[in-house]
A and B are shown apart, each in its own frame.
Chain A
Amino acid sequence: MRLQIQDLTKSFRRGASALDVLAGIHLEAAPGEFVSVLGPSGCGKSTLFNLIVGLQQPDAGRIQVDGLSIDGNTRAFAYMQQKDLLLPWRTVLGNVLLGPEIEKRPRAESRDEAIQLLDQLGLKGFERSYPAQLSGGMRQRAALVRTLLLKKDILLLDEPFGALDAMTRAVMQSILIDIWQQWRQTILLITHDVDEALLFSDRIYVLTARPATVKEEVAVPLPRPRSITDMALIQLKSQLLETLQTEMLHGFE
Chain B
Amino acid sequence: MRRQGSLLPLFILLSGLGIWEAAVQIYQVPHYILPAPSAIAVTLVQKRGSLGHHTLVTLQEMLLGFGLATTVGITLAVLMFEIPVLERAVYPYVIGSQTVPVFAIAPLLVLWLGYGIMSKVLMAATIVFFPIVLNTLDGLKAADADTVSLLRVMRASRWQVLWKVQFPSALPFILSGAKIGISISTIGAVIGEWVGAKAGLGRLMLDANSQLQVSLVFAAIICLTVMGLGLFGLMTLIERWLTPWRHLNHHNV
- Chain A residues packing against B (C-beta within 8 Å): 53-55, 74-75, 77, 79, 81, 83, 85, 87-89, 98-99, 101-103, 130, 132-135, 138, 150
B contact residues around A132 at 8 Å (CB): 245, 248, 250
Cβ contact within 8 Å between A85 and B253: no
> How far in angstroms is the closest Cβ of chain A from B153?
5
Instruction: Report the bound CA distance from A83 to B149 in whole Å.
Output: 12
Cβ contact within 8 Å between B147 and A102: no
A contact residues around B150 at 8 Å (CB): 79, 81, 85
> How far in angstroms is the closest Cβ of chain B from A104?
10
- Chain B residues packing against A (C-beta within 8 Å): 144, 146-147, 149-156, 160, 164-165, 168-169, 171, 243-246, 248, 250-253
Cβ contact within 8 Å between A133 and B151: no
Residue pairs across A and B with Cβ atoms less than 8 A apart, 9 shown, are: A79-B150, A85-B146, A89-B243, A98-B154, A98-B164, A102-B164, A130-B244, A133-B250, A134-B252
Cβ contact within 8 Å between B168 and A87: yes
B contact residues around A79 at 8 Å (CB): 150, 153
Cβ contact within 8 Å between A135 and B253: yes
Cβ contact within 8 Å between B252 and A133: yes
B contact residues around A55 at 8 Å (CB): 149, 152-153
Q: Which of A54, A83, A102, A103 has the most CB of B within 10 A?
A: A102
Cβ contact within 8 Å between A89 and B245: yes
Instruction: Report the bound CA distance from A6 to B6 in whole Å.
Output: 68
Instruction: Report the bound CA distance from A86 to B152 in whole Å.
Output: 15
Q: Which 6 A-B pairs have the closest CB atoms?
A: A102-B156, A53-B153, A79-B153, A89-B168, A89-B245, A130-B245
Instruction: Report the bound CA distance from A151 to B253 in whole Å.
Output: 29
A contact residues around B248 at 8 Å (CB): 130, 132-133
Cβ contact within 8 Å between B253 and A133: yes
> How far in angstroms is the closest Cβ of chain B from A193?
21
Cβ contact within 8 Å between B253 and A134: yes
Cβ contact within 8 Å between B147 and A133: no
Cβ contact within 8 Å between A87 and B147: yes
A contact residues around B246 at 8 Å (CB): 88
> How far in angstroms is the closest Cβ of chain A from B154?
5
A contact residues around B245 at 8 Å (CB): 88-89, 130, 132
From DSSP, what is the main secondary structure of chain B's interface residues? helix
Instruction: Report the bound CA distance from A9 to B244 in whole Å.
Output: 46
Q: Across the two chains, which residue of chain B brings its CB closest to A53? A: B153
Q: Across the two chains, which residue of chain B brings its CB closest to A56? A: B149
Instruction: Report the bound CA distance from A81 to B150 in whole Å.
Output: 9
Instruction: Report the bound CA distance from A83 to B153 in whole Å.
Output: 15
Instruction: Report the bound CA distance from A98 to B160 in whole Å.
Output: 10
Instruction: Report the bound CA distance from A102 to B157 in whole Å.
Output: 8
Instruction: Report the bound CA distance from A79 to B245 in whole Å.
Output: 26
B contact residues around A102 at 8 Å (CB): 151, 154-156, 160, 164
A contact residues around B252 at 8 Å (CB): 133-135
Cβ contact within 8 Å between B165 and A87: yes
> How far in angstroms is the closest Cβ of chain B from A150?
7
Q: Which of B150, B151, B243, B248 has the most CB of A within 10 A?
A: B150
A contact residues around B149 at 8 Å (CB): 55
Q: A55-B153, A135-B253 are in contact. Are A87 and B146 (CB under 8 A)?
A: no
Partner of A99, one of B144, B154, B253: B154
Cβ contact within 8 Å between B250 and A85: no
Cβ contact within 8 Å between B253 and A75: no
Instruction: Report the bound CA distance from A74 to B150 in whole Å.
Output: 11
Instruction: Report the bound CA distance from A103 to B164 in whole Å.
Output: 13
Partner of B155, one of A74, A81, A101: A74
Known: A83-B146, A130-B244. 16 other contacts (CB 8 A): A55-B152, A55-B153, A74-B155, A77-B153, A81-B146, A85-B144, A87-B164, A87-B165, A88-B245, A89-B168, A89-B245, A99-B154, A133-B250, A133-B252, A133-B253, A135-B253
Partner of B154, one of A83, A138, A150: A150
B contact residues around A81 at 8 Å (CB): 146, 150
Q: Which of A54, A79, A88, A101 has the most CB of B within 10 A?
A: A88
Instruction: Report the bound CA distance from A138 to B151 in whole Å.
Output: 21
> How far in angstroms is the closest Cβ of chain A from B244?
8
Q: A130-B248, A133-B250, A138-B253 are in contact. Are A85 and B147 (CB under 8 A)?
A: yes
B contact residues around A98 at 8 Å (CB): 151, 154, 164
> How far in angstroms is the closest Cβ of chain B from A13?
20
B contact residues around A134 at 8 Å (CB): 252-253
> How far in angstroms is the closest Cβ of chain B from A214?
24
Instruction: Report the bound CA distance from A53 to B153 in whole Å.
Output: 6
Q: Across the two chains, which residue of chain A brings its CB closest to B144? A: A85
Instruction: Report the bound CA distance from A53 to B252 in whole Å.
Output: 34
